[in-house]
Structure 1
Amino acid sequence: METRLLQADITTVRVDAIVNAANSSLLGGGGVDGAIHRRGGPAILDACRDLRASRYGRGLPTGQAVATTAGNLPARWVVHTVGPVWSADEDRSGLLRDCYSHSLRVADELGATSIAFPLISSGVYRWPIEDAVRQALTVLGAARPTHVAEAQLVLFDAGTLAVAERVRDGG
């Protein structure tokens, strides 16, 4: 699987599946989650409400992933995953890596050939950018899905892209 770094607004990227850094309620929020719900329209929220009513009454657990329609987004599906909140006292990096691996598994099961990830947990969940990139690239570099041929790590600004390129290049 090819992995690319890209500076863009994830809601505009044309791929089969866009990953949403969701909160556990699945009902929208701020940051990437809010942007995906706003741009994708009510179909995503309706699908998330259905998931809450059927399988995830208590919300989506951290590290897990589930798919819905992409509504008005330029994708077929949104894969929702809940990242961990960074902690200086507890190593939660396994949960962060689970977000990427479980999202890839869900996309692969859907038959997606391309997927776009935000930098999960690096916003309001305060995961340090350099380590968040390292965790993402570790999973994406080792993944061997059967359908997904391309993964994009979509970074919102030039500074984050520069950090990601430095981490990718071993610096």
Structure 2
Amino acid sequence: MGWLSNRALGISLVVLLVTSSLLAVVLGYLGLVVYSALMTGTPIVGILLDMTVPYLPVVAVLLVLVVLSGIWFGWSLLQRASIPKNDRLASVAGRAEREVPLLGALGLSESLSPPEPTPEERAERTLAELKRQYVDGEIDEREFERRVDRLVSNDSLEEARAARERRAVLEGESGRT
């Protein structure tokens, strides 16, 4: 992640506070001028027209900045929120992204999908399923032992393959230097 994305929540909050404060000051000043015109009996239309011309662009820019920074702050807050991750939410988000291509840029389906289990987690789940099948009587002791042996040998093969790949990478790096 980049520097900006790591600090997006704080930056967006500061921008939101600054722009909304400036907008409040400008609108407060305009309100004060209108109030003073009303209290002195001065025709308000002339004063408003004189003030609207220079301040209308400032108000418009500040209003746009407040809205955009509010959206940015809300999005940054949602990204940091602890949203449950499961396949159903990811499939709904994927369907919405297919229907509305603009949503695809947000990457909701990836952020809602659960992480892939590690090989150790997969092996633990498989072993737990084998134990359940053995306890429930779905498989006999011989079949249980055969499947556990196969599971252990697959883990050994994966470990050997990973060690071989590590050695190849290290040898490739030492060959370059």
Please state which structure has a larger fraction of its residues in strand: 1
Structure number, greater radius of gyration? 2
Higher relative contact order (CA 8 A, sep 6+): 1
Q: TM-score range by the shorter chain?
A: under 0.3
Please state which structure has a larger fraction of its residues in helix: 2
When normalised by structure 2's length, the TM-score is 0.19
When normalised by structure 1's length, the TM-score is 0.19
